[in-house]
Each structure stands twice: as structure tokens, then as C-alpha cells.
A and B are shown apart, each in its own frame.
Chain A
Amino acid sequence: MTLASLLAQLLNGLAGASSLFLVAAGLTLIFGVSRVVNFAHGSLYMLGAYVAWTSVAWFGRGPVGFWGGVLLATLVVAAIGALVESLLLRRIYAAPELLQLAATFGVVLIVRDLTLATWGAEDLLGPRAAGFAGVVDLFGRATPTYELLLIVVGPLVLAGLWWLLVRTRFGVQIRAATENRALVGALGINEARLFTQVFALGAGLAGLAGALQLPREPANLGMDLAIIAEAFVVTVVGGLGSITGAFLAALLIGLVKALCVVVGTVEFGGFAIAFPKLTLVAEFVVMAIVLAVRPYGLLGQPAVIPATTPVAEFRALIRPPGRRSLAAALALAAVAALLPFTGDEYRLILATDILVLAVFAASLQFLMGGGGMASFGHAAYFGLGAYGAALAFKHGAPMAFALAAAPAAALVGAVIFGWFCVRLSGVYLAMLTLAFAQIVWSIAFQWDAVTGGSNGLVGIWPAPLLADKRDYFWFVLTLAGAALAAIAWLAQTPLGYALRGSRDSALRAEALGIDVRRTQWMAFAIAGTFAGLAGGLHVFSKGSLSPETLAIPRSVDALVMVLLGGLNAIAGPLLGAAAFTLLQDGLARATDYWRAVLGAAILLIVLLAPMGIGGALQRLFARGAR
């Protein structure tokens, strides 16, 4: 590697960093003001690219078509953002924290299908940027002028945003709302309008970033999910709500990735390390390191607003289950046990899936609802359990031992990762769990010899005793029932109370002699263990597993199930898992556009029952009892 090639790669890294910054800037702006974890930000970015492509198709490849398209994309996507905020998110600001995440997830599904219906499945290659189609010679290498333009655009946007935030009245309001939104409202500023404006601004930046990506990448349907995780990472590494921080973080990650590519394969005392392969997780490794050193990112501030919902009504839902609830649960289990006699084998398979996912969701609910610690990477423990069981089984352990290995493997992971995570709070904590999950995922994905790499492992079927679907269902019903009961019981033990106390006021809990971190760490270990058990049951019901068992979509599914079911309702996980599974199964069979319909169904549930299905039911019964 020569100095010239290193410098040339630094330029590449800077260009990559610039386009990353544009996406992340909008995300961090939106989060700063509204605390919305906008999962649909990647979808807005994707729409930007498609709108710009359409503009070029209409107005030609010249400056009007392309640069007009960039402008058009920015405006159109900003308008879409304003629409999403005012029609959807505004209605659920008072709902439990993170419910917006489920809502924006619904938006992701809808936008995907609408984009497919509008623009078709084929990738759409855009033109090179008008006026920046060529190359110049730098360091003896042909360097595209468009890369140089991008390197300039990033800082320009940063300067523009800085001017907006520091020099204008609108900016002052945004900064005030970022620091304390309740106070802003109390001062008579129209909060609703401010939120809509900020959301439109952030969405417009996403649209701009998408449009500017068009000369580098064809508009395609994978753009939304390809960018969203990375954008979150940049936002969090920079410090939530900090535009300058996002810029620094984008620089850091862009350069690290370019360096991984340039270093190539290096021999270290007999070991060959292929650095290019690290690009799969580079950003998550960077995030884990940064958060371990700086719990609020590079330039972030501790949140003024508590991590959990300030709305007392939602917390009041937690009380020990009464005699009637117990009777209802037992009756439900008894009815479920009769399911195999209905003769429909597929119903059993669905019911098995629901039970397994219910345990998975319950473990996350224990952490999120009781502990106030959201995990965006809960699939890690599910997957560790699944891989633990599968590997034990593949190495000759009988099913019983293999199944026992599942919670054990997950427990080890949860204890290690939890130790780091409980030092953080709020979204930072959630993102660190995601980083760990992605690191585990990349190991499973790349360690061919042990995990089977991207293909995974097959041939993990239950012992002959449980091979029949009915027997396996009863087995799962027993274990899952016990697990769900145990999780519900744990919430009522002193540990459960200490955990909720730590969530609601860490200071008071400490004063009462509760070791907050230790309590939260234990909650992490418990949640991980149960998620691992679910993973073990899952792998034996499917016969195979691959890295998607611990990939981001599974973590998101778990979050959506918990939120749909109700963050604090005892029956929430079961209801959420059932609703999600049955909706997906039924809709996929009924319509080609099942993703959009599933998204719409999620939005409907979120709007009609912001406390989840379980919360809504509890309220209904409570009213009936009165």
C-alpha cells in the first residue's frame, strides 16, 4: 500500500461519509425533537432515489432532469414526511415510548409494497450527475468528480443546518424542543406545527440523500433496509440529536470502512485476517467501542426526559394477576391442550410457532416493560439459543441436553453483553444491544466451519419420542406455559419490584438500597435465558436454522409483537405473537400485497389500541368489573 493509494482511499471514505451524514442528519434531527425512533427513515431515503429517477425519466438527463430531480425528491419526500407525522405519529405521542417504532415499521412495509407497485421490481439505473459525470486525476488515480462534489455537499449541509439551528428563530425552537419539549409547549409555541416542520425537514434530508445516491446506485427496493441500520448507528455514535456529532460519526465510520477495504488480507503470525470481510459489521464494532467509552455518543447529552413513558395511566396496569386471571390462563391452557384433537395439523404448527414467539416476546417484555430497557437486538439471545441447541445436537448431544444448551448459551451471551448494556440507558442501550446482536450475527454468518455460514445448519429434528407434531406441540405448550408463568411470576417477586423501581426512579431505588445496575443486569440475564429457550424450541420445530435467526428483522418482529400486545399487559406477549403470526400467515395467503396490508393492520392496531391489544382488553374488563 502506497501513500497515494491511502490518500485516494481516504477521499473515497470521505465521499461515503458525506452521503451517510445526509441520511443520519435527518434522523437525528427528528429524534432530537420528537423522540421518535423513525424506522421509516430508510424508506424515505429510498423514495428520494425513486422520485429523482422519475424526474430524469420525464425531464431528461440534463441539469434540469437531474438537479431538478434532486430538488423535487427533497420536496416530495419532505411532504410525505409531513403527512406521516400529521396523520400518524401525532396521534400517538402520548403513547408508551417506542410505540412509534411499531408505527413506523408499519410505514416501512407499506412504502415497500407501494414502491414495488409504482416503479416495478427491476433496479432502475439513474444517470450520472449532470456536470459531474467525469473524473479528474488525483494522486495518479482517476477520481470521479461526483465523489468530490459529495465531499463538499456534506459539510455544506452541516453548515446550512448549523445556520438554521443557531441563527434562526425556527432553529431556536428546535433546540429548545430537543432539550425539553414540555417546556416549549408551556411557553406557547405551537408544538404540533413545530413537530411537523421538523419531521418534514428530516424527511427532506433523507429524500435529498436518496436522490444524491442515484448516480452511485440504481434505485432499488433494498435501499430502505440497507441504509437504516447504518443511519441509526451514525446517529447514536454521534450522540442523539447532535448534528455535528452525526457528521463526525459519519466521518469515522466512512473512513473505517474504506480502510477495511484498502488493508486487504493481512497475515498476523500465521493467521490471515481478511479485513474486507469486516465491512459486514464495521459500523457496529465502531458503535460498540464508542458507546463503551462514551455512553452518550461522541457529542450527545444525557436525556432530560426519563427513558420510560411519563404517562402514569400505562404503568398502573401492572398488578399481580387476580384469581380470575389465573383461572382464565388455566382454562386457555386446557383448551389449547385439546387442539391436537381437532385434526388440523397445520393449526398445531401455527400454535407451536405462536407459543415459541410468545416466550420470545415475553422475555423482551420483561426487559422493556418491567426494566425500561428496550432491546433492539433481542434476536441475539434467541439466535444464541437456537445455535447453542443446534450445535450441541450436531455434536451428538441428545435432544434434552441440546435443548438445555439453548438457554445456557443465551445466558452466557446475555451476562456478557448485559454487563456493558446496563451502563447505558434509553436508545443508547437499545442500540448497544443491536451492536452486539449484529456482531454475533456476523460471526454466525462467516464462521463456516462451525455455524455453516450463511447457509446455516440443517437436520435438527426432535427425538423420536417427540417427532409427532402433536407430541411436540404438547411439549412446547408445557415448556412455554411454564416459561410464560415464570416470567409473569418474576415480575411480582421482590426482584420484579426492584426492577420497576429502578426503571421509574434510579435515584430513589438506590436510596432504598437497591443496586440498580445489578438488578438490571439480572433482568438482562433472565430475559436472555428465556429468549434462548424460545430459540431452542424454535430450531427443533423447524429442523434447521440460518443466521437470519439472529438478524435485525427478527429483533424488530419481537419489538412489534411486544408493542402490539401491550408493553405492560401480562397477556401481551401471547396476544402480540398470536396477532402477528396469524396476520402474516393469513394475509400472505390472501393477497400478493400482504406486506402493505400487514403494515396497515399494524397501524390500525397502534392507532386504535395504543396500549396494545392486551392493554385494551384489560381496560375493557376493568370497566366491565366496575
Chain B
Amino acid sequence: MNRSLRLHLLAAVAALATVLSPAAAAQPIKLGELNSYKTFPAFLEPYKKGMDLALEEINAAGGVLGRPLAIVSRDDNGSPGDAVRVAEELVTREKVVLLMGTFPSNVGLAVADLAKQRKILFLAAEPLTDKIVWENGNRYTFRLRASTYMQTAMLAPEAAKLGRKRWAIVYPNYEYGQAATQAFKKQMMALQTGGIEFVEQAVPLGKIDAGPVVQALADARPDAIFSSLFGTDLARFVREGELRGLFRDRPVFNLLGGEPEYLDPLKDEAPVGWWVTGYPWYAIDTPPHRRFRDAYQARYKDYPRLGSVVGYSTVQAAAAALRKAGSTDTEKLVAAMKGLAFDSPFGKVSFRALDHQSTMGAYVGRTALKDGKGVMVDWRYADGKDHLPSDDAVKAMRPAD
């Protein structure tokens, strides 16, 4: 069933309810959602499923503020210009009470700036850029996922423990990869005393020339490797690196490498023993996660990916904000979001009043092969709140509201 049809049905149900019981005369509360569905389908299809699951659960429990929730979803075509246009449509035509979603950082930042201009709440679900809450942070924008900085900070202490001197860094040549590289170097130099040196390879996003890159890294004879590659680039890097023996006797750290979206396509060629951040859905047995996983698998006959958690949590966060605000008024919602605590599949998460970053963490562990599939072992949950810079450092970066 497509989105608009579902919306119509919801509206029809709501209309029917109006006729039958005047007391429940409730129009749905509309949440505006935009994302690059056709540009990054591997991440966003599970994301949408997670979002829909949360919506169904909330409405089955009676909705929010006595009204059902509805999500109006739009494709932003992976382009900031188009994203601003569809966001305007959601605000002006659909009269949504808040905006949420977005995937790439440049789109997230553009919508965040629109939110500031338009004075509407924007809950950035997926963009990892540090800037969206720091350098370009604003009163109306909140971000759910653990940022590039946070995820790097989760891996860096493990890397520093090894005491290796010469690091090779390979990263996709755009803001995410650059920021990860910069954060890693900075943190390593702070954590590890004594000489440490870095050699770098920046590769065009989605177009890594794996042979030459792996060869160049091997020729640099590093002691260890830090990578922020993901998706197709990661798959090519892994295969070529295994073939050419790049990873032999070298510890490898890979940001995001344990996310099912990027680990699962590698099948039986998933690397073994890498330090990664990710999401071991099969092994997390906390009550909130078990409940989420069971509901998800029952609903979709498929296992959840990290995107599913992000989509699910985004809607839960929005509902929690509406409940706490007791209203759909933007200013009240913004006030409610500051310090808002809500239940995610990863447990209690809150949005910091200081910089609007959520404390949602990530799982840190090592990769292994099990039944011909890549998994994470020896993992632990790294809480987001423990991997952020000092409050003063954040205040120095973030402009006043």
C-alpha cells in the first residue's frame, strides 16, 4: 500500500470515527517526513519499515494527545534543493506539525537551515555530520543518530590501546570521511603519547579504485588501518585487500563496518577481527530490543537493520515530544525536545538540551564469521553520552540560538 493511500485510509477511518462517536472527533496529527528513498534504498527501505512499525504501534495504543498519528512521506531525490522544496510542500500544503528524516549530510543541513528560517521543528534522523548540531546547530533542529565524531570516539580508545605507530587511513572523499579522519587523528594524538604518523588515501565516494588503493596502502607498510568506507567501496576494499594480503597481521578499524546494511552484503567474505561500530541485532537481548526485534520480525518476516532502528526511534521520539509538549505548537515542541527522554530499542535515549544531539549510542565490537555470514562478537553498547566533547567545547562550536 503506498503512502498516500494509507493516509487516505487513515483519514477515512478518522472520518468514520467522527460519525460514530462524536467524542473521538480526531483529525490525525501529521508528521512530515522526507528522505532520499531512491538514492539510498538499501538503508532507507528498512528505515521506512521501522517507521511504519512505530506508527502502527502508537496508533494501536490510541495515538497521541487523543489523536491518531499520520506520516506524510516524500522523496527528496538526494538533493538539498529538492529537499527544501518538498519540505516547503509538507509545511504549507500538508500542514505538518514537524519535519523529520533525511539521509545525506548536505540535505540534512539544508533542511535544518530551512527549519530555522521557517520556525518548524526538524528531527534529523540519519545525517552523521557533526555540523548539524554544532557549527550549524540551531534552535529548531535535533539529531537522533550518533554522529561521525561520536562513532569515531567510540573506536579511538580501542585503537590507542594497541600502541601502533604508523596508521594508514582510507576514507570516502567527502565531509563524512574527512570528518572521521580528522577526528580520528586528533583523538589518537591526544590518547597516544609518542610519535604517531598517518598516511592517507582519499577515494571518490562509490568509485574506489580498490586495486591501486590497496596496493598503495600495503606499500606504505602501516602498522594498522583506520577506514571509514561503507557500502560498495567497503566491499571492493575488503575483497581486494584480502586477496592482496593487506590485512594480514594488521589490525583494522572500520567505522560503521558492523552495520547489517554494509556487513551483510559481504556474505562469507566478511572480514574477521576488525574493530567496528554497528548493530548486532541477533545478539542484543535487552528487553526493549527483544520486544522491537520480535515485533519487527513478526510484522515483516525479515530481520531489522540499523535503518529500521533509526526509523522506529525517530517516530517514537516525535511521539514522545508531542506527548510531553501536550500540543502541536512548534515552540512548545522545541521546549519539550530539549532534554526529552524516550524509549528506543537501544534503551533510554535523551536529547541533550545543550546541543540537541541525542545520546543514542552504537555497538562497538569485532567482526567474525558465523554460518557463512559476517557478525559482530565481543561487542558492547557504547552510550552516546560518553563519547561527546566537553560541554565547553560544544558551546564554543555552537552558535547561540
Contact = CB atoms under 8 A, between A and B. Distances in A.
Interface of A: 1-2, 5, 8-9, 12-13, 15-16, 112-113, 116, 121-125, 128, 134-135, 141-144, 147, 215-218, 220-222, 226, 257-258, 261-262, 264-265, 274, 276-277, 279-280, 344-346, 349-350, 353, 445-446, 448, 453-456, 458-459, 461, 538, 542-549, 553, 584-585, 588-592, 594-595
Given A218-B235, A454-B106, A543 B84 contact: yes
Contact of A116 (B41, B136, B213): B41
Nearest to A145: B243
A279 to B, nearest CB: 6
Contacts, number: 209
A589 B175 contact: no
Contacts of B113: 458-459, 543-544
B397 interface: no
Given A122-B264, A125-B265, A276-B202, A8 B215 contact: yes
Nearest to A458: B113
B207 interface: yes
Interface of B: 2-4, 37-38, 41-42, 44-45, 74-75, 77, 79-81, 84-86, 88-89, 92-93, 105-106, 109-110, 112-114, 116-117, 129, 131, 136, 173-175, 178, 199-204, 206-207, 209-213, 215-216, 218-220, 231-232, 235-236, 239-240, 243-245, 261, 264-267, 269
Nearest to B136: A458
Given A144-B244, A461-B117, A548-B80, A1 B219 contact: yes
8 contacts: A121-B45, A141-B218, A217-B235, A262-B212, A344-B92, A453-B174, A458-B112, A594-B75
A588 B129 CA distance: 27
B117 A543 contact: yes
A226 B86 CA distance: 26
Given A261-B209, A346-B93, A548-B106, A588 B77 contact: yes
A318 B93 CA distance: 41
B110 A264 contact: no
Contact of B212 (A16, A122, A353, A461): A16
A590 to B, nearest CB: 7
A1 to B, nearest CB: 7
Given A5-B215, A261-B216, A592-B37, A542 B243 contact: no
B233 to A, nearest CB: 9
Contacts of A456: 80, 106, 109-110
Contacts of B105: 454-455
Given A135-B245, A346-B92, 12 more contacts: A5-B219, A121-B44, A122-B264, A123-B42, A216-B239, A218-B265, A258-B209, A265-B199, A345-B93, A346-B88, A454-B106, A545-B81
Contacts of B37: 592
A contact patch SS? helix
A455 B174 CA distance: 8
A217 B232 contact: yes
B212 A9 contact: yes
Contact of A544 (B80, B209, B218, B261): B80
Contacts of B106: 454-456, 546-548
B200 A276 contact: yes
Contacts of A135: 243-245
Given A221-B41, A353-B85, A544-B84, A448 B215 contact: no
